[in-house]
Amino acid sequence: MRCSSSMNSKDKKGIYVHIPFCKSKCHYCDFCSVVPSGDIIDRYVDALKREAEGYKRKNKIKADTVYFGGGTPSFIGAERLSDILLHLRKVFDISPDAEITAECNPSSCGGDFFSRLIDSGFNRISLGLQSADPRERKAIGRLTDADAAKQAALNAKKAGFNNISLDLMLGLPFQNTESLKNSIDFCADAGVTHVSAYILKAEEGTPFYEKLSIEGAKKMNLPDEDAVCDLYLFAAEYLQEKGFEQYEISNFCKKGHISRHNYKYWNLDEYIGLGVSAHSFFEGKRFFNTRDIDEYIKGSKPIPDGSGGDFEEYLMLRLRLAEGLIRHDTERRFGKGCFEKVLDKAKKYKGTNLLNISEDSISLTKQGFLVSNTIIAELSS
């Protein structure tokens, strides 16, 4: 399905900063992260600044979101994070009302950590919880007590953060609807404004994958596929009961607290990725950095990944959102015709409880999200 884009390249960008350091590696983690040694953290921060410098222009690139992900950004300390953010402000034109997020592990954000982030301009925190159940946490290699996450959320609020997210995982060993309910209650009781709930995937090359290959799902007490689907639907419904509206396949928030940065990805807006393994979509091109930290520090060049921004990509990403594909926005970006073609294909799903279909929008239902890959492939063909 070919449709040309009229996307405005002058829109404000997002900036992603990858911090690849952790105290230890979780059993299931496939992200680019390492346990650091020597002076590698400071050398890496210097390399980040050099990469950012490469975007210096006569007219500064405008940005309205900055997201520090990892790894564990909080592991390198508030001083380094603040220093990086200050440098980014010198290179980019970052809006006064920009959303600036740091992912944090509750075990590495004690003392005046949150106050120092607030003082330097951070205004959103994302805390890793995964589960409030001790047995489930142990099974995936989480080292700290769940109560540390609640205390971290309380400390962040006390410091001045009013936009706080907790991450949950679905399909964990031993997990059932009762333990998941307790984890969601834990999030609500912590007073957070956002919850991400991701289905656990066994990524090749991780300790979790290796163990699963040897022992099998049953011995590891993993719920089967049908049970995982039930857990997902339960989470979506119960989070809504707790006041968290679903706005994306895996993301739920209190009113007015979507992740503005992540929304850029799903709306096919442009962003610049800094750091090892970081991906970018900038000036209509996609590219990414090496996963080798030593090579990155030496100044390796980004790897081209082709052009981006076509309608198929837009369709795939927008259908991750609860609001789905909107006729007005689609026609503004790609002209008339594309939405109509998708609408014609979508009508076969009427009465299936998988798609919400009207003359002005097409969106997946909660049940549809579970088979989103199949539906999206059909609608984009």
Beta strands in the chain (DSSP E): 13-19, 62-70, 93-104, 124-130, 164-170, 194-199, 245-248, 251-253, 271-274, 279-282, 285-288, 303-307, 325-326, 355-357, 361-364
pLDDT tens, residue by residue, 171-188: 999 999 999 999 999 999
> Are 93 and 207 part of one and the same domain?
yes
Looking at 208, 241, 266, which one is the last position of a domain?
266
Total structural domains within the chain:
2
Q: What CA–CA distance (Å, rounded) separates 168 from 344?
A: 37
pLDDT tens, residue by residue, 189-239: 999 999 999 998 877 767 666 777 787 777 788 999 999 999 999 999 999
Q: What CA–CA distance (Å, rounded) separates 175 from 158?
A: 32
pLDDT tens, residue by residue, 12-41: 999 999 999 987 655 555 555 677 778 999
Q: What CA–CA distance (Å, rounded) separates 54 from 190?
A: 41
> Are 76 and 218 part of one and the same domain?
yes
> Are 250 and 369 part of one and the same domain?
no
Looking at 266, 296, 329, which one is the last position of a domain?
266
**Per-residue pLDDT, 39:** 95
127 token code pair: 């805390």
The CATH number linked to 152 is 3.20.20.70
> Are 156 and 251 part of one and the same domain?
yes
Q: Which amino acid, residue 304?
A: P
User: What's the domain range around 350?
Assistant: 311-381
> Are 240 and 359 part of one and the same domain?
no
pTM higher than 0.85 for the full model?
yes
Q: Which amino acid, residue 260?
A: R
> Are 126 and 207 part of one and the same domain?
yes
Looking at 266, 293, 326, which one is the last position of a domain?
266
> Are 19 and 103 part of one and the same domain?
yes
> Are 239 and 330 part of one and the same domain?
no
